[in-house]
Chain A
């Protein structure tokens, strides 16, 4: 194991975060605060409790997930796309480092960033609404699992993308809609039966449901199913990355 190489990539990627602190950390926090103001305070004050929890409190896990998902994808896809774009990827490919180590460096850094971000948003939320976390260990488990899985997914997008448009396309057209429709702002029990069935096809539903359960012990689907689905998606991403490196897809012409 070339642990020095993993460390080098990890620290290089983290250095990029500190250098771009404003985009990386401050702007997601600002936009999440806006959600609290609009949905929690303005609209939420007209909504009665959802499953025994005030609406402002109810949306906290969903909002954190929304940011963690999009930021994991953005961080990881940009992290690997940019060296491809500038050409500096040559050095990574010519270094005595395995694919696993490359992924560990890039995905590790991307996931770290979004976990930090998730915790910052959680702290920010605490300023707006009263919070009580029933299962902090499970909360962290879901947070880490989601950050890692979607960083892997972002890594795949970054490898696949051959232009900035494509880099934006999947997050814009697929991930954001899935997140909004995945119950960030509502319980899918509130949906008509047909739509509820459709919603169960959305993988994000399971992430948010499990994460919300760790906060308030209320869930749309059982926790075991949540963990199972998240793990399944993680495995799918790992297999895709294994295939990418084995074939050299979009990396080694």
Chain B
């Protein structure tokens, strides 16, 4: 699949001297759902703001659909729908008026049938004549999504779409996102809910302190998640391990008080049975054992800590 967004050597330094992005390189494939994960202040929103034209980059280049966002901004921007993190809405406009306004702003001819479809898909149809100020937070969030979809974008940015949204509505939004993907829309969502990325994304990128620290297929990441760790708490401390156990690649931890063994649950043989019997033969006894599975969250926390 070809790249629909291509970010090259992108840096952003704010007037205060704060470096929000440091030499970011990122390619988004056409038709995928890409989840950008990162702690607060990692640079997620800055990255999106630059791609969408809300902030100026300090250095670097961004192509959207092959068009440069600065020299060919009309073509680039008309491909993008943006749902920002904050609920920025016009209080006194009706839902219908504000969504129609967005379509006009993006230079598209009037199409009441399309607006109607968008509002119905987002369960906003019965609120179309209500003033936005009268809507609940979750509904305002959907109005913002409707505004972004009003001009039939090929790329949809969802910046923290489910922050402060209840479980039911969150699931509803995931549904909408999947339907959009099926119709060919590329979706980039930022989140700090790991489950959301796990549930939705085809690929996952992790950003921390303005740097992209990982971009990987979710499937590959999930394989890493398939690994488990067996920890044996030994009866007595062991200073070195006999040669017969070398092929298990064990780690001696806590000054020889615990033994750690990593294995793949999806492998044909985990090696646990033979390890335990070999330990017994070697005369190594233990009081207790536990197994843990690394989650995306662990990988994420590890990445964010080490970077």
Identify the A interface with B (CB < 8 A). Answer: 2, 4-5, 7-9, 11-12, 15, 19, 86-88, 90-98, 248, 252-253
Q: Are A5 and B105 in contact (CB under 8 A)?
A: yes
Extra inter-chain contacts (8) besides given A88-B89, A91-B102, CB under 8 Å: A2-B74, A5-B105, A15-B97, A88-B88, A91-B147, A94-B80, A97-B105, A252-B56
Q: Are A86 and B91 in contact (CB under 8 A)?
A: yes
Interface segment, one of B25-33, B47-55, B116-124 = B47-55
> CB < 8 Å: which of A86, A94, A96, A253 contacts B107?
A96
B82 within 8 A of A: yes
Q: Are A87 and B73 in contact (CB under 8 A)?
A: no
Q: Are B92 and A96 in contact (CB under 8 A)?
A: no
Given A90-B54, A95-B105, A97-B105, check contact A19 B92 (CB 8 Å): yes
CB<8 Å pairs between A and B, sample of 19? A2-B74, A2-B107, A4-B105, A86-B89, A86-B90, A87-B88, A88-B89, A90-B54, A90-B82, A93-B54, A94-B77, A95-B105, A96-B76, A96-B107, A98-B74, A252-B55, A252-B56, A253-B14, A253-B15
Given A88-B88, A91-B147, A94-B80, check contact A8 B101 (CB 8 Å): yes
Interface residues on chain B, size class: 20 to 34
* Inter-chain contacts of B91 with A (CB < 8 A): 86
| Closest Cβ neighbor of A19 among chain B residues | B92
Q: Are B54 and A96 in contact (CB under 8 A)?
A: no
Q: Are A5 and B106 in contact (CB under 8 A)?
A: yes
C-beta contact mask, B42-67 vs A, less than 8 Å → 1, else 0? 00000000001111100000000000
* Inter-chain contacts of A8 with B (CB < 8 A): 101, 103-105
Within 103-160 of B, Cβ neighbours of A (below 8 Å) are at: 103-109, 147
C-beta contact mask, B220-252 vs A, less than 8 Å → 1, else 0? 000000000000000000000000000000000
> CB < 8 Å: which of B80, B84, B88, B107 contacts A4?
B107
Interface of A is mostly: helix
* Inter-chain contacts of B147 with A (CB < 8 A): 91
* Inter-chain contacts of A86 with B (CB < 8 A): 88-91
| Closest Cβ neighbor of A105 among chain B residues | B105
* Inter-chain contacts of B105 with A (CB < 8 A): 4-5, 8-9, 91-92, 95, 97
Q: A97 vs B76: C-alpha distance in the bound complex, in angstroms?
A: 11
Q: Are B56 and A248 in contact (CB under 8 A)?
A: yes
Q: Are A5 and B55 in contact (CB under 8 A)?
A: no
> CB < 8 Å: which of B78, B90, B104 contacts A88?
B90
Q: Are A4 and B109 in contact (CB under 8 A)?
A: yes
Q: Are A5 and B104 in contact (CB under 8 A)?
A: yes
* Inter-chain contacts of A12 with B (CB < 8 A): 93, 101
Q: A8 vs B107: C-alpha distance in the bound complex, in angstroms?
A: 9
* Inter-chain contacts of A98 with B (CB < 8 A): 74
B86 within 8 A of A: yes
* Inter-chain contacts of B53 with A (CB < 8 A): 93-94
Q: Are A96 and B90 in contact (CB under 8 A)?
A: no
> In the complex, what's the smallest C-beta–C-beta distance from B140 to chain A, in angstroms?
12
Q: Are B88 and A94 in contact (CB under 8 A)?
A: no
| Closest Cβ neighbor of B100 among chain A residues | A8
| Closest Cβ neighbor of A5 among chain B residues | B105
Q: Are A96 and B73 in contact (CB under 8 A)?
A: yes
> In the complex, what's the smallest C-beta–C-beta distance from A202 to chain B, in angstroms?
36
Q: A147 vs B97: C-alpha distance in the bound complex, in angstroms?
A: 28
| Closest Cβ neighbor of A12 among chain B residues | B101
Q: Are B108 and A4 in contact (CB under 8 A)?
A: yes
* Inter-chain contacts of A4 with B (CB < 8 A): 104-105, 107-109
Q: Are B56 and A94 in contact (CB under 8 A)?
A: no
* Inter-chain contacts of B102 with A (CB < 8 A): 91
| Closest Cβ neighbor of A253 among chain B residues | B55
B285 within 8 A of A: no
| Closest Cβ neighbor of A20 among chain B residues | B92
* Inter-chain contacts of B171 with A (CB < 8 A): none
* Inter-chain contacts of A7 with B (CB < 8 A): 104
Q: A164 vs B105: C-alpha distance in the bound complex, in angstroms?
A: 27
* Inter-chain contacts of A91 with B (CB < 8 A): 82, 88, 102, 105, 147
Q: A91 vs B146: C-alpha distance in the bound complex, in angstroms?
A: 13
* Inter-chain contacts of B56 with A (CB < 8 A): 248, 252
* Inter-chain contacts of B76 with A (CB < 8 A): 96
* Inter-chain contacts of B15 with A (CB < 8 A): 253
Given A5-B106, A91-B102, check contact A96 B52 (CB 8 Å): no
B75 within 8 A of A: yes
Q: A14 vs B287: C-alpha distance in the bound complex, in angstroms?
A: 79
Q: Which 10 A-B pairs have the closest CB atoms?
A: A8-B104, A87-B88, A96-B77, A96-B74, A96-B78, A94-B52, A2-B107, A95-B105, A93-B54, A88-B88
